[in-house]
Amino acid sequence: MSSKYYYEFVFSGFGGQGILISGNLLCYAAILENREVTFFPSYGVEMRGGAANCYVVLSDSHIGSPIPSYPMAGIIMSTPALQKFLPVIRKDGIVLINSDIVSKKDVNRNDLNIKYIDANRISAEVIGNERLANMVMLGYLVGYTKCVKLESLIKSIHEVVSEKHKKFIPLNEKAILAGNDLYEKEMRSHK
C-alpha cells in the first residue's frame, strides 16, 4: 500500500465487552480527521458471551478490502479471541491483550509487540466499573499507534453514543484517558 497513513486492526472478544463500539469509535474519530475508513463487524447470535470481532481499516486513500488478511494490530479481550486472531496478526505487529482475562501462558508468538494490559482492573479502579475495559484498551491503542488524535476519539464518543446512553459519556472518556495515560506513563519510564 503506497499510502503514508494506513492502519489495519482487528478487535476481538466476547459479546458484551464493547468490541464493536470500540471499532466504531475509532472509525468515527478517523472520519472526523477526513480519513477513509472501513468497519466490518461480526458477532454471534448471542447478545452476551458469544464471539464478537470487527476489522477496522484507516487510510488517507482508497481502501481495497474491509478485511485485512494479516492486520498490523489487534485488541484481544478473551482467550477464544486469542486463539483465533493471534495467528493472523502480521509479524512485528502490535497486540494489546487484556491480561485480566487472557493468560500470558496462552500466548505462543514471540515475533509481535505484545502489551499486556490489566484493563478490567484499571477500569474498576478508575471508574468503579470494569465494564469499560474496552475503552481503556482503545485509549492505549490510540496512544501507541497515533492512528487518530486523542481529541478526535473523545469527540467521537459524543457523536456515536445513543441518546439513552449519553449519561455514560464522561465514564467512557475517563476510561479512554486512563488507557492513554497508561501508555504515556510506560513511555516516560522507558526513557
Domain boundary assignment for the chain = 6-189
CATH class of the domain defined by 6-189: alpha beta
Look up the pTM and report it. Answer: 0.94
> Could you report the per-residue pLDDT of 54-94, keeping only the tens digit for each?
999 999 999 999 999 999 999 999 999 999 999 999 999 99
Taking alpha carbons only, the member of 2, 13, 71 closest to residue 38 is 71
